[in-house]
C-alpha cells in the first residue's frame, strides 16, 4: 500500500514536470512570436489559462474568429475574470463589432465600477456608434475616477475643439497639460483652440514647441505663418512660407499667404507677383486671385480696376457673398445712378439672404438711405 502511494506521487510529479516543461516551451514560443507552434503546445496543456494564451495567439496571427471563441470559452469558465473580457472587448472594438463590444464593456463596468479604463472604452464604443452625448458621459466618468486619465482628457479636448467650444476645450486641454506638459497631442489642440480664437500671439510659442518636438508637418507651418503675419512678425512669416514652398511649390494658398505679408508691408508690387504665382498654381480656379488683386487695386484707390477684378472673381465663384458685396459697395462708390445702386443692394439681399450679419445689416441700412435719397431727388 505504501509502495502504491509512493508510485502515485512519483507519477503525479512526473506529470507535473512534463506539464511544466510543455508550459515553458509554449510560453517561450509565444514570447518570440511563434504563435502557431505556441497554440499547439498550449493545446496539450488544456485548462483556462492555456485557453487564454491560445486566444491571444490567435489574435496575434489575425485569426480573430477563433480568438473570439477562445475568449468566450475562458469567460464562460470564469465569468468574474476581467482581463479576458477586457481583451475581448478591445478586439471587438477593433473589428468594428460595436454592439458586442458595448455589451462586454458594460458588463465590465458593472463588475468593477471603479475602473476608469472600462469607462474610457465605453466612451470609445459610443463614439463609434455616433452617440456623442453618451461617449462624453463615459469619458467624464473615467476622469472622475482618475483625473490623470490622458486618453479620456484627449478625447474630450478633441471633441470640444472640433465643436469650437473654446471654454470646454481649454478646460480639458489645460487639465491634461497640468499632468503631461509635453504631450504633443494636447499642445497641438491648445494651439488650434488659440489660433481659431484669433489669439495668434499666444498660439505662436505652442506652434514653435510642436516643431521642436518633431511635429514637422505642413499644417503646423501654415498656422505658424498666419500667426506670425497677424502678429506683424513679417520676416518670420516669410521664413515659414519659404519652408512650405520648398516642400511644395504648387500650393496656391502659400503664395496667397505670402502675398498677404507683402501687402501688409505695403510692398504691393511683390504682393502682385505672389498673387499671380498663386493663380498660376491654382489653375483653373482664379476667384481668390482676382479677389486679392481687387483688394490691392482698392488699396491703391484705383476703384475701376478693383471693380473689374471683383467682377472677374464673382464669375469664377458666384457662391461667395463677400465678393459680390465688394462689387456692390465699389459700384456704390463709383456710380451716380441712385436706382442702380439700390438695385445692387437689393440683389445682394435677394441672392445672399443668410450671410454674415454685418453684410446683411449694412446692406439694409444703405437701402434705407438710398430710398430716402431717391425720394428727395424726385422732389
pLDDT score of 109 more than 60: yes
Q: What is the 3-state secondary structure (H, E, C) of the chain?
A: CHHHHHHHHHHHHHHHHHHHHHHHHHHHHHHCCCHHHHHHHHHHHCCHHHHHHHHHHHHHHCCHHHHHHHHHHHHHHCCCCHHHHHHHHHHHHHCCCHHHHHHHHHHHHHHCCCCHHHHHHHHHHHHHCCCHHHHHHHHHHHHHHCCCCHHHHHHHHHHHHHCCCHHHHHHHHHHHHHHCCCCHHHHHHHHHHHHHCCCHHHHHHHHHHHHHCCCCCHHHHHHHHHHHHHCCCHHHHHHHHHHHHHHCCCCHHHHHHHHHHHHHCCCHHHHHHHHHHHHHHHCCCCHHHHHHHHHHHHHCCCHHHHHHHHHHHHHHCCCCHHHHHHHHHHHHHHCCCHHHHHHHHHHHHHHCCCCCHHHHHHHHHHHHHHHHHHHHHHC
Residue 6: pLDDT band (50, 70, 90) is low
Domains, the chain, ordered by start: 21-78 (1.25.40.10), 295-379 (1.25.40.10)
pTM recorded for the entire structure: 0.71
Is the confidence at residue 16, as pLDDT, over 50?
no
Average pLDDT score over residue span 130-135: 95
pLDDT at residue 73 is higher than 70: yes
Reported as a single tens digit per residue, the pLDDT across 229-256 is 999 999 999 999 999 999 988 888 999 9
Question: Per-residue confidence at 10, pLDDT binned at 50, 70, 90?
Answer: very low
Report pLDDT for 170: 97
Least confident of 39-48, 92-101, 134-143: 39-48
The rounded distance, in Å, linking the Cα atoms of 220 and 187 is 12
Is residue 296 pLDDT above 80, yes or no? yes
As a whole number, the mean pLDDT across the chain is: 88
> What pLDDT does residue 9 have?
44
pLDDT at 285: 64
Average pLDDT over residues 316-335: 88
Asked whether the bond before 284 is cis by omega within 30 degrees of 0, the reply is: yes
Q: Cell numbers at residue 113, please?
A: 465600477
**Predicted local confidence at residue 378, as pLDDT:** 67
Per-residue pLDDT for 1 more than 60?
no
Residue 283's pLDDT is 59
Q: How far is CA 303 from CA 23, 64, 347, in A?
A: 87, 69, 21
Nine-digit cell string for 20: 511544466
Mean pLDDT in residue range 284-289? 73
Per-residue pLDDT averaged across 321-348, rounded? Answer: 88
Q: What is the C-alpha separation between 47 and 367, in angstroms, rounded?
A: 85
Kindly indicate the confidence band of residue 7, based on its pLDDT and cuts at 50, 70 and 90: very low
Q: What is residue 352's predicted lDDT score, i.e. its pLDDT?
A: 85
Long-range contacts of 216-219 (CB under 8 A, 24+ apart): 218/244, 218/247, 218/248
Average pLDDT in the 304-321 region?
88
Amino acid at each position: 500500500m505504501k509502495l502504491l502511494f509512493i508510485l502515485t506521487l512519483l507519477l503525479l510529479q512526473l506529470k507535473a514536470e512534463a506539464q511544466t516543461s510543455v508550459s515553458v516551451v509554449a510560453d517561450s514560443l509565444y514570447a518570440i512570436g511563434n504563435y502557431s507552434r505556441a497554440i499547439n503546445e498550449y493545446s496539450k496543456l488544456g485548462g483556462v489559462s492555456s485557453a487564454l494564451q491560445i486566444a491571444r495567439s490567435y489574435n496575434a496571427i489575425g485569426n480573430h474568429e477563433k480568438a473570439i471563441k477562445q475568449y468566450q470559452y475562458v469567460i464562460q469558465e470564469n465569468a468574474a475574470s476581467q482581463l479576458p473580457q477586457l481583451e475581448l472587448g478591445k478586439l471587438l472594438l477593433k473589428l468594428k463589432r460595436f454592439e458586442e463590444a458595448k455589451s462586454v464593456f458594460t458588463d465590465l463596468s458593472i463588475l468593477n465600477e471603479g475602473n476608469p479604463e472600462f469607462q474610457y472604452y465605453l466612451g470609445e464604443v459610443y463614439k463609434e456608434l455616433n452617440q456623442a452625448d453618451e461617449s462624453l458621459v463615459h469619458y467624464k466618468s473615467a476622469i472622475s475616477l482618475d483625473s490623470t486619465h490622458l486618453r479620456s482628457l484627449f478625447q474630450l479636448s478633441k471633441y470640444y475643439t472640433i465643436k469650437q467650444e473654446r471654454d470646454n476645450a481649454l478646460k480639458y486641454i489645460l487639465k491634461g497639460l497640468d499632468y503631461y506638459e509635453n504631450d504633443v497631442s494636447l499642445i497641438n489642440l491648445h494651439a488650434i483652440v488659440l489660433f481659431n480664437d484669433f489669439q495668434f500671439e499666444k498660439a505662436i510659442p505652442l506652434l514653435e514647441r510642436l516643431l521642436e518636438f518633431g511635429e514637422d508637418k505642413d499644417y503646423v507651418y501654415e498656422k505658424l505663418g498666419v500667426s506670425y503675419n497677424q502678429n506683424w512678425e513679417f520676416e518670420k512669416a516669410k521664413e515659414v512660407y519659404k519652408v512650405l514652398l520648398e516642400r511644395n511649390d504648387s500650393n496656391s494658398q502659400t503664395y496667397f499667404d505670402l502675398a498677404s505679408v507683402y501687402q501688409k508691408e505695403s510692398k504691393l508690387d511683390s504682393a502682385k507677383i505672389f498673387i499671380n504665382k498663386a493663380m498660376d498654381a491654382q489653375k483653373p480656379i482664379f476667384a481668390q486671385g482676382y479677389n486679392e488683386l481687387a483688394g490691392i487695386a482698392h488699396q491703391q484707390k484705383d476703384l475701376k480696376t478693383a471693380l473689374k477684378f471683383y467682377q472677374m472673381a464673382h464669375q469664377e465663384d458666384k457662391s461667395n457673398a463677400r465678393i459680390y458685396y465688394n462689387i456692390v459697395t465699389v459700384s456704390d462708390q463709383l456710380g451716380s445712378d441712385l436706382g442702380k445702386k439700390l438695385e445692387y443692394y437689393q440683389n445682394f439681399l435677394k441672392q445672399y439672404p443668410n450671410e454674415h450679419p454685418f453684410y446683411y445689416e449694412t446692406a439694409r441700412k444703405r437701402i434705407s438711405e438710398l430710398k430716402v435719397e431717391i425720394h428727395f431727388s424726385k422732389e
